[in-house]
């Protein structure tokens, strides 16, 4: 369950009431932030809990809906029929069809990847399927990864997918509300794994060859990573993850790094009880930014376009429990500050992506969810 909390930030947002409310289904809102004037444009509604999106080379967009549908947005309209061939998914709580990611060579091979939850109430597992996009649907759908062992329940599932510049694939997994699994190197829960594009394990992964350690593991001690993105200059992977009650984190992903959960955290249990008093431990990675109380960061992208010069180099993440979009300023690998955008204008921003046109696109994770775009005002 997402609990709505508001958090003090380093630089307060300067958003002003827009011309219309996007939640009222009107066309546009206009805002002034610290470094840009921008307009919120509603592109599509009637999406059921959209989770992620991907831009195709032909100008169309693919959007996942958690109940198990893959939709197409084309020509300014949401096509009514979902694509065929999506794998069967377990739908409950946070479980369902989640992320979508195109293969780096998609223009030539038409290959894409879906993260989803496979199984049932007794046993479910975060999984990744590889497929080819054909006319009207997916073909040659193959499950290539499962974050075993599975578990009951439908929370803390991770599920972001990202390719690095070398063509390796990273998949985030949550701890399934069984916190010590994140510290178990024989378990794929609470990790970021690194795979070849066919799901096999790269020979240079940090734990390859170690007894009783899963060779897929790239990082461990992660609670529920919900955003992955590449730094536009260095190519390093940046990540955001949910803490419990407080303790959300912004991290840089390092091979073999232990990110501490639950031995080190700024968060507490949801009933207020203490998990640990440790905020740092030698041999574990410290977060660049920790949010207390939680903002529930979800989706992550660096802005590299020219449409918003003042935002260039900023990180953007949805803040589920803040009803906001966060713009985060960094200098090199150091956190500088942040501002909240779209405060109380859109509920549950689940994903944020930069489009090929240099504009920012986002989806809202509600039963009457939508696709929106930020444009210069």
Q: Is residue 14 scored above 70 in pLDDT? A: no
Rounded Cα–Cα distance for residues 41 and 26 (Å): 9
Q: In degrees rounded to 5, what are phi and psi of residue 133?
A: -85, 115
**Residue 209: its pLDDT value, please?**
98
**Residue 15: its pLDDT value, please?**
30
**Residue 331: its pLDDT value, please?**
97
**Residue 21: its pLDDT value, please?**
38
pLDDT digits (tens, 9 = 90+) for 304-362: 999 999 999 999 999 999 999 999 999 999 999 999 999 999 999 999 999 999 999 99
**Residue 3: its pLDDT value, please?**
36
Contact status, residue 229 vs residue 283, Cβ threshold 8 Å:
no
Multiple choice CATH, 22-376, 1.10.10.10, 2.30.42.10, 2.120.10.30, 3.40.50.300: 2.120.10.30
Rounded Cα–Cα distance for residues 330 and 122 (Å): 43
DSSP string, 332-369: TTEEEEEEEESTTTSS-EEEEEE-TTS-EEEEE-STTE
Give, as one character, the DSSP assignment of residue 82.
Answer: P
Q: In degrees rounded to 5, what are phi and psi of residue 310?
A: -70, -15
Total-model pTM: 0.93
Mean pLDDT over each residue of the chain, to the nearest integer: 93
Q: Is residue 17 scored above 50 in pLDDT? A: no
φ/ψ region of 203 (left if φ > 0, alpha if ψ in -120 to 50, else beta) reads alpha
Q: Is residue 8 scored above 60 in pLDDT? A: no
Per-residue pLDDT band at 12 (split at 50, 70, 90):
very low
Q: Is residue 203 scored above 50 in pLDDT? A: yes
Helices (H), 55-166: 106-109
**Residue 42: its pLDDT value, please?**
97
Rounded mean pLDDT, 235-261: 98
Per-residue pLDDT band at 29 (split at 50, 70, 90):
confident
Per-residue pLDDT band at 178 (split at 50, 70, 90):
very high
Rounded Cα–Cα distance for residues 292 and 294 (Å): 5
Rounded mean pLDDT, 7-23: 31
Contact status, residue 52 vs residue 100, Cβ threshold 8 Å:
yes
Q: Is residue 215 scored above 70 in pLDDT? A: yes
Per-residue pLDDT band at 87 (split at 50, 70, 90):
very high
Contact status, residue 177 vs residue 153, Cβ threshold 8 Å:
yes
Nearest of 309, 343, 307 to residue 324 by alpha carbon: 343
Contact status, residue 85 vs residue 138, Cβ threshold 8 Å:
yes
Percent of the chain at pLDDT exceeding 70: 93
pLDDT digits (tens, 9 = 90+) for 106-143: 999 999 999 999 999 999 999 999 999 999 999 999 99
Residue 86: strand, helix, or coil: coil
The residue with greater pLDDT, 140 or 19, is 140
């Amino acid at each position: 369950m997402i609990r709505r909390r508001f958090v003090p930030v380093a630089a307060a947002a300067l958003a002003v009431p827009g011309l219309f409310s996007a939640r009222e289904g009107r066309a546009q809102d206009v805002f002034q932030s610290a470094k840009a004037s921008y307009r919120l444009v509603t592109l599509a509604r009637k999406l059921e809990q959209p989770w992620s999106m991907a831009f195709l080379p032909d100008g169309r967009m693919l959007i996942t809906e958690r109940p198990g549908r893959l939709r197409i947005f084309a020509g300014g309209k949401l096509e009514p029929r979902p694509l065929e061939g999506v794998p069967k998914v377990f739908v409950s709580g946070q479980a369902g069809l989640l992320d979508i990611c195109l293969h780096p060579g998609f223009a030539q091979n038409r290959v894409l990847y879906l993260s989803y939850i496979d199984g049932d109430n007794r046993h479910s597992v975060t999984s990744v399927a590889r497929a080819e996009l054909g006319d009207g649907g997916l073909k040659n759908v193959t499950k290539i990864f499962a974050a075993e062992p599975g578990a009951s329940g439908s929370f803390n599932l991770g599920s972001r997918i990202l390719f690095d510049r070398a063509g390796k694939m990273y998949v985030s997994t949550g701890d399934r509300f069984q916190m010590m699994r994140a510290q178990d190197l024989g378990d794929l829960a609470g990790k970021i794994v690194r795979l070849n594009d066919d799901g096999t394990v790269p020979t240079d992964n940090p734990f390859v060859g170690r007894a009783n350690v899963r060779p897929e593991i790239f990082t461990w001690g992660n609670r529920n990573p919900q955003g992955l993105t590449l730094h536009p200059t260095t190519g390093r992977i940046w990540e955001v993850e949910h803490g419990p009650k407080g303790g959300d984190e912004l991290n840089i992903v390092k091979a073999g790094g232990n990110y501490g959960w639950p031995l080190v955290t700024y968060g507490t249990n949801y009933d207020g009880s203490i998990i640990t008093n440790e905020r740092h431990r030698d041999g574990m990675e410290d977060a660049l930014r920790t949010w207390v109380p939680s903002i529930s960061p979800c989706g992550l992208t660096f802005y590299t376009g020219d449409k918003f010069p003042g935002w260039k180099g900023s990180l953007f993440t949805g803040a589920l429990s803040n009803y906001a979009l966060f713009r985060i300023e960094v200098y090199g690998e150091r956190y500088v500050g942040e501002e909240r955008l779209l405060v109380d204008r859109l509920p549950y921003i689940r994903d944020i992506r930069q489009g090929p046109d240099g504009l920012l696109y986002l989806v809202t994770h509600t039963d009457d969810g939508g696709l929106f775009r930020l444009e210069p005002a």
